[in-house]
Amino acid sequence: MKTAYRNIYSVLKLNRLVVISVVILAMVSSGFSGWMVYNIYKEAINSSFAVNTDGSVIPLKWVKQKENMEVEALAHLELFHTYFYNIDASNYKSNLDKALWLGNSSVDDLYRQKKADGVYNRLIQYSLVQKVLSIESEVDLSVEPYLFRTKTIFEINRGTITDTYELISTGNIILVDRNYPNNTHGLLITNYFEESLKKLNYEN
């Protein structure tokens, strides 16, 4: 009897060991399979595929969206600030019309405020020339809508006198549908705000 019980106990112990081994092996196999699937997924989202005329599959590498977005955003901001601030009596209407396509109501509100304050009337009356000298922008692409900060240096030529100013503007950029030729980058400036404006004094 003792021998029989001892044999049953040994068999149960062996079965338990086998079950535990199978479970551990299954868990390791599942973990490895999950890791392989994740790697395949990462490779897949960085590539697309096209079918050639002979039926073969051609891998096409995608351009990194963040790098592309930064280029587009900086170009969009430079275009907007050039249109909005590089103006004179002959081009201000066409330039402002183009600038308004690149921003939302916050840009339009600023334009209407400047118009009500007589900025553009003085431009015509005194034949002023407002010329943009440089535009430097910083864009935070970590969270959408993307926050930007732009420093624009421009000068106002009043004939015998030329004054230079530094404008700091801020706002956000959102993605919209591209509109050729009015909004070629497919971006829109929102919450636009002229944060500060100061006159620069250059010593001769």
Q: Per-residue pLDDT tens for 42-71?
A: 665 555 555 556 555 555 444 456 778 899
Domain span at residue 171 reads 58-200
Model confidence at 186: pLDDT above 90: yes
Q: Are 150 and 168 contacting, i.e. CB atoms less than 8 angstroms apart?
A: yes
**Residue 182 falls within a domain, yes or no?**
yes
Residue 162 lies in a domain: yes
Contact partners, residue 107, CB within 8 Å, separation at least 6: 80, 84, 99, 100, 189, 192
The percentage of the chain sitting over the pLDDT mark of 70, rounded to a whole number, equals 82
Q: Answer whether residue 34 is part of any domain.
A: no
The answer to whether residue 9 is domain-embedded is no
Q: Decide if 37 is inside a domain.
A: no
pLDDT-based confidence at residue 14 (cuts at 50, 70, 90): confident
CATH code, domain with 149: 3.10.450.230
Q: Which tokens belong to 136?
A: 């430097």
Domain count, the chain: 1
Beta strands 146-157; 57-61: pairing state = unpaired
| Dihedral over Cα of 128, 131, 136, 141: its sign | positive
What's the pLDDT tens digit per position in 139-185? 999 898 999 999 999 999 988 899 999 999 999 999 999 998 899 99
Give the 3-state secondary structure percentages of the chain, helix then strand then coil, rounded to 5: 45, 35, 20
| 106 vs 27 pLDDT, higher one | 106
Please check whether residue 93 lies inside any domain of the structure: yes
Residue 43 lies in a domain: no
Q: Residue 61 has what pLDDT? A: 47
Question: If 0-12 CB within 10 Å is exposed, 13-18 middle and 19+ buried, where does residue 52 land?
Answer: exposed
pTM over 0.75: no
CA distances from residue 31 to 42, 48, 120, 122 in whole angstroms, order as listed: 17, 27, 68, 72
